[in-house]
Amino acid sequence: MSILFNIEGQVARITIDRPDRMNAVDREAHKRLVEIWDEIDTNPNIRCAVLTGSGERAFCAGADLKDDSGLSGVEYWEQLGADFGGISLRKNLSKPVIARVNGLALGGGFEMVLGCDIIVAADNARFGLPEAKVGRLPLDGGMVTLPRLMPRNIAVGMMMTGRMVPALQMAQYGLLNAVVTFDDLDAEVDRWVSDILAAAPLSVQAIKATVRRTAHLDTQAAYNTRLPELIAALESVDAEEGVLAFREKRAPVWKGQ
């Protein structure tokens, strides 16, 4: 299998396992990733997911250009959709996703990173959107997402030139949550996982839904948006449990309801 998927407790771990192709995604891998995200979203026992690539060279080098679909650029866009790897622009994934960036994140691979909620990178990682160099476009989130997450001119410069930017520089632009040595990458990811699992699951889902679905609104309109996830968190048993646990100086026992 080109995609490894396992569930450890409440954490799903997804690894693109095509190291001979720099973990580039072909149609088969894309299809499997879509299936996995669907399963994660509907599995009530999963509270967090970690996405990465195998090896030390690449997170994902984007689309496998040797996997010729026979489609034109417009046909590819229309038929395969805009969610590269099933996550780059996905709207209905309620669980938080951590990108464990272990190396190069290029093209669609970088767009998959942009679809995640928390980004932890090794200091040898580099990011780029080189589509313009091969007459293509970063359609799966790059053009519309990157300028919203970091300074506009930096994002545009990356896309127009295809330049690769190192992790420490991307962190300075505010895109990454943490940059560590490769040897410390797993420990840092696990710290973020632990902190997410220590928080109330409905609160985490409400935060993700609100941030994702109101980004296009002005502040007041976003504040007035009463998403179902927001109401569910506010009216949950966990909302009472969190306060009670704080008063009793103990760890809360979350029920996710």
Q: Which of 8, 39, 56, 111 is catalytic?
A: 111
111 classed as catalytic: yes
Residues 6+ away with beta carbon under 8 Å from 54:
4, 15, 16, 17, 18, 19, 23
Average pLDDT by stretches of 10, the chain with 257 residues: 94 97 94 96 97 97 76 51 85 95 97 98 98 92 95 97 98 98 98 98 97 93 94 95 94 94
CA dist., res. 179 & res. 164, Å (int): 16
Task: Label residue 79 exposed, middle or buried (CB < 10 Å: 0-12, 13-18, 19+).
Answer: exposed
Q: Distances in Å between the alpha carbon of 10 and those of 13, 48, 72, 118, 194?
A: 10, 7, 41, 17, 10
Global pTM value: 0.94
Put the strands of the sheet holding 104-106 in their side by side order: 58-60, 104-106, 126-128, 165-166
131 tagged catalytic: yes
In eight-state DSSP terms, residue 100 is: E
Please give the structure tokens belonging to residue 23: 């973990």
Which residue out of 28, 78, 131, 248 is catalytically annotated?
131
